[in-house]
Amino acid sequence: MPTSDRLLALVAPIVSSAGVELVDLEYGGGSLRVVVDEPGGIGTERLGAVTVAISRALDAADPLPGRYTLEVSSPGVERPLRTPEHFRRAVGQRVTLRDTGAEGSPSRRIVGVVVAADDEAVTVRADPERPTEEPSDVRLHYDRIDRARSVFEWGPAPKPGKGSKPGAAKRRPSGAPTTRATRGATT
């Protein structure tokens, strides 16, 4: 059984019994990365408890040769999309994905909005490659997707106003009285 399958068989029941979702599991370069979540986002206490449970199970089963680092985290704002359920939850959201490429074709990167997802494939309204083109719907079967994640879009930066800068002293008109507090007395 491949290492990734052994790790999945060991970690998945622990995560499930903790009542959280296993979003992703990757092993490589001496690191085991486990991504977990729950509706509304996972808190640090729950994340810590899941980390301890996984660490104890790994210590007992010893499925990995040599030293490794265990990283257990939440998916963050740009979460990986691996399963049909992940894509169903991402309907209406911007995503980026890399397909494996058809036979003889290179892989390609697609950025767009998920418009539909079923048990076999996801449909993405892909951003046009040129400004003069219209968006097009691309349907990809899950086995043709190499990597995918949601895309967090930052809002525009606030425009500078005419107000004062944070921390800058406010100017007062010349001749205006000065009020200064000294040990509770006002002068």
Look at residue 163 in the predicted model and tell me its pLDDT: 55
First to last CA, the chain: 81
Domain ranges of the chain: 3-73, 84-150
pLDDT single digits (tens) 83-131: 999 999 899 999 999 998 777 778 889 999 999 999 999 999 999 877 7
Whose CA is closest to 49, among 14, 82, 97?
Answer: 14
CA separation for the pair 49, 59 (Å, rounded):
15
What's the topology of domain 84-150? Answer: SH3 type barrels. (2.30.30)
Average pLDDT, the chain: 85
At residue 9, the pLDDT reads: 95
More confident site: 149 or 103? 149
Do 3-73 and 84-150 agree at the fold level? no
- In tens, the pLDDT along 6-24 reads 999 999 999 999 999 999 9
Predicted confidence at residue 178, as pLDDT, reads: 44
Domain 3-73 has CATH 3.40.50.10480: no
